[in-house]
Amino acid sequence: MTTVAVLHHALGRTTGVTAFAGTLAADGHTVVVPDLFDGRTFTEVADGVAYADALGPEAVAAGFDAAVPAGTDPLVVVGFSLGVLGAQRIAQTRPGVAGAVLCHSCIPAAWFGAWPATVPVRVHACAADPFFTGDGDDAAARELVAAVPGAMLHLYPGAGHLFAEPGTPDHVPAAAALLERRVRAFVAAVSGRS
C-alpha cells in the first residue's frame, strides 16, 4: 500500500485539491491531505500568497513536513504550487520517499540539499505561466530534470498557473485531465502497481 501526500496550493485545501486526492484514493492508495491553513481557503492567489508569506517559506515547508505522517513507506508526495515547498523538503530529506510530483512550481534543489538520485520526480506546469517562467521555477525544474536520472518536465499549453484547479480563471480542463492521468500513472509505477 502506498501513501500519497497531496499538499495544497495558496488557495488552501480546496474542493479541487481534495477531489484530486480522491482520485488517488480510488486507485487504492492511502491519501493524506494536510491543511496548512487550518480551514481557510482563498479565492484569489494573491490573498493566499500573502497569508503564506506571513508564515514564511521555512514555516510552510516545515508545516507540511510535520503534517505528513512519518514511517509511511512507500510515500509519494504531490505538491501544488505552494505545496511544492513541502513536497521538495519531504522528498529531499526524508528516507522512504518513492517519488515526488511538483505541480505549477519548482524551487532550486539546493534549498534542501541535493536531490536523492533514488527519488524519481515529475514537474508539471503551463509553458507560459508567468509565475513558473518569471520566478525562476522553470530554470530550477530544468536543472532538476538534468540532474536526476529519469526525471521529467511536462509543459502544458497556456499561461494558467493553477490550471488543475476547477473554478479558477486558470483552469484548463484538458490539461488538468492529462495531469491527473500522468500523476496516477506515475504513482502506480513507483508503488509497483503498473
User: How far is Cα 97 from Cα 177, in angstroms, rounded to an integer?
Assistant: 25
Beta strands in the chain (DSSP E): 3-7, 30-32, 75-80, 97-103, 121-126, 152-156
What is the tally of structural domains in the chain?
Answer: 1
CATH number at residue 62: 3.40.50.1820
**End-to-end C-alpha distance for the chain, whole angstroms:** 13
Here the cell at position 26 is: 480510488
Residue 83 structural domain: 3-190
Quickly list DSSP for 117-146.
Answer: TTS-EEEEEETT-HHHHHSSHHHHHHHHHH
Model pTM score: 0.95
pLDDT tens readout for residues 104-151: 999 999 999 999 999 999 999 999 999 999 989 999 999 999 999 999
What are 51-63's pLDDT values in tens digits?
A: 999 998 888 889 9
Q: What is the DSSP letter of 61?
A: H
